[in-house]
């Protein structure tokens, strides 16, 4: 493995400086004559030189104001735009012993400019991966790992709740993942112990818990807008869980839009972060595009054929449900966008997450689609970029990330176009700097080619 990693590092360094085998000392780079989008303010700093050393941004100065050191590797940023690395705040890594599949997914994220992920369904091997990533032994993003899920199936008593929370805290997971099926009593026990041992909890909102109890309990984040639609439906307590549909799919047209303001104010008051995963319903639930059409999208070439086939079945199955109707699905997606825009307008914390890999959400690629869906909801390009940069850093209480300024982490994406003019320019990647490792466009293309058909769920 060490020999493979060494060979890979040499390939990267050679590819980013053709004709030279010089190795930058301590990861010393200078990105010259680039337009910097610092993200701590809505601006574009034209014609800047960004100096990087040992995984940190050392300086940002006007072009040619400062000479690069002789050991620095020069990256030409002329005509390009530099943004902080992006964050996928609802990712899924495979579970079990297939670490090769996990590493493929981690690499696919980085090749798409995603330099931080929050894994949302844990496994003991994820803790090993996290250690390897932190030491630079494998290529991948910064990895925050959730514990194995806490659900009605795994937490059947208050005693289960207490013991599992303590177990996962002691094992070193970064957060607890809450899944459906929890009773209110067991949920409250999870919350009590989680606060005692100081581990955050996030994810789904169980039917018996409801969004108001979830907000009061202090979720670190509510993902998928789970429970939001239900909170807007008059008489929701009379509608059985199996009649509501996933994320309120079957009841969206019953929502009272005047209740959105109350929901949003409660989220803001209790400092609840929101991870929309808008890419999931926009692709899984929509009647406007068939499963077969999604299966032919260009990024599907990276997924194992069996995974794509399962995704086709999942979409077809949900649309074959007798309770599914096209108008209701369209109404749900429109309602989610209204809620998302209201959250943004009222300064509720939003962080980007797409639930990849999930139904037609390919790791890395779907994060960019998530950004576009948020823009479609009415967020400005800058507001959208905030969700994936400074907001993610704030969620993790990490001010040294998500911005471009001296002292910040050198997790950066070089773009060929301005994302503040067109958010889809986040896909127009010229190179990715992951700490001390520079991946220019040609190397990204080579690695993407090697990953075709390999990604497994």
20 has pLDDT over 60: no
Mean pLDDT of the chain: 94
Contact 117, 91 (CB under 8 A): yes
61 has pLDDT over 70: yes
52 has pLDDT over 80: yes
Q: Which of these, 339, 350, 346, 326, lies nearest to 377 by C-alpha position?
A: 339
* Cis-peptide, bond into residue 177, ω within 30° of zero: no
15 has pLDDT over 50: no
Contact 33, 49 (CB under 8 A): yes
Domains of the chain from N-terminus onward: 2-84+403-450 (2.30.40.10), 86-395 (3.20.20.140)
Contact 371, 340 (CB under 8 A): no
Sequence-distant (≥ 6) Cβ neighbours of residue 449 within 8 angstroms: none
Parallel, antiparallel or unpaired: strands 81-84 and 73-76:
unpaired
Q: How many residues does the chain have?
A: 457
Contact 436, 54 (CB under 8 A): yes
Q: Tell me the mean pLDDT in the region 40-53.
A: 98
Alpha carbon of 186 to those of 156, 158, 180, 258, 267: distances in Å? Answer: 7, 5, 12, 32, 23
17 has pLDDT over 50: no
Task: Quote the crossing angle between the two packed helices 365-376 and 381-388, to the nearest 10°.
Answer: 140
- pLDDT tier at 457, thresholds 50, 70, 90: confident
State pLDDT tens for residues 82-126.
Answer: 999 999 999 999 998 788 989 999 999 999 999 999 999 999 999
300 has pLDDT over 80: yes
Report pLDDT for 97: 79
């Amino acid at each position: 493995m060490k020999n493979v990693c060494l060979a890979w590092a040499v390939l990267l360094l050679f590819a980013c400086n053709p004709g030279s085998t010089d190795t930058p000392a301590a990861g010393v780079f200078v990105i010259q004559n680039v337009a910097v989008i610092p993200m701590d303010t809505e601006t574009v700093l034209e014609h800047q030189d960004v100096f990087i050393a040992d995984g940190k941004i050392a300086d940002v100065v006007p072009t040619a104001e400062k000479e690069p050191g002789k050991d620095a590797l020069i990256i030409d940023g002329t005509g390009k735009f530099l943004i902080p690395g992006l964050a996928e705040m609802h990712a899924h890594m495979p579970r079990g012993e297939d670490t090769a599949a996990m590493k493929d997914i981690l690499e696919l994220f980085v090749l798409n400019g995603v330099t931080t992920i929050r894994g949302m369904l844990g496994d003991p091997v994820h803790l090993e991966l996290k250690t390897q990533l932190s030491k630079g032994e494998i290529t991948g993003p910064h990895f925050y790992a959730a514990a194995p899920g806490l659900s009605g199936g795994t937490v059947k008593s208050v005693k289960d709740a207490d013991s599992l929370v303590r177990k996962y805290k002691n094992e070193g997971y970064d957060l607890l993942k809450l899944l459906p099926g929890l009773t209110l009593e067991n949920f409250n026990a999870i919350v009590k112990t989680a606060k005692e041992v100081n581990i955050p909890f996030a994810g789904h909102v169980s039917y018996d818990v409801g969004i108001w109890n979830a907000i009061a309990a202090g979720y670190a984040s509510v993902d998928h807008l789970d429970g939001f639609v239900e909170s807007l439906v008059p008489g929701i307590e009379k509608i059985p869980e199996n009649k509501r549909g996933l994320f309120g799919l079957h009841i969206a047209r019953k929502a009272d839009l005047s209740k959105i303001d109350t929901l949003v104010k409660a989220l803001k008051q209790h400092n609840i972060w929101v991870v929309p995963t808008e890419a999931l319903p926009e692709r899984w639930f929509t009647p406007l595009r068939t499963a077969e059409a999604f299966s032919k999208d260009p990024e599907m070439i990276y997924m194992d054929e069996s995974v794509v086939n399962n995704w086709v079945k999942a979409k077809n199955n949900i649309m074959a449900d007798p309770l599914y109707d096209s108008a209701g699905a369209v109404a749900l997606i429109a309602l989610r966008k209204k809620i998302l825009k209201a959250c943004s307008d009222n300064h509720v914390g939003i962080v980007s997450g797409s639930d990849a890999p999930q139904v037609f959400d390919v790791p890395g690629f779907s994060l960019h689609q998530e950004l576009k869906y948020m823009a479609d909801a009415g967020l400005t390009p800058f507001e959208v970029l905030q969700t994936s940069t400074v907001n993610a850093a704030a969620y993790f209480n990490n001010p040294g990330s998500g911005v471009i300024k001296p002292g910040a982490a050198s997790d950066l994406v070089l773009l060929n176009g301005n994302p503040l003019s067109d958010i889809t320019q986040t896909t127009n990647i010229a190179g990715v700097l992951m700490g001390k490792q520079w991946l220019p466009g040609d190397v990204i293309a080579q690695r993407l080619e090697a990953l075709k058909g390999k990604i497994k769920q």
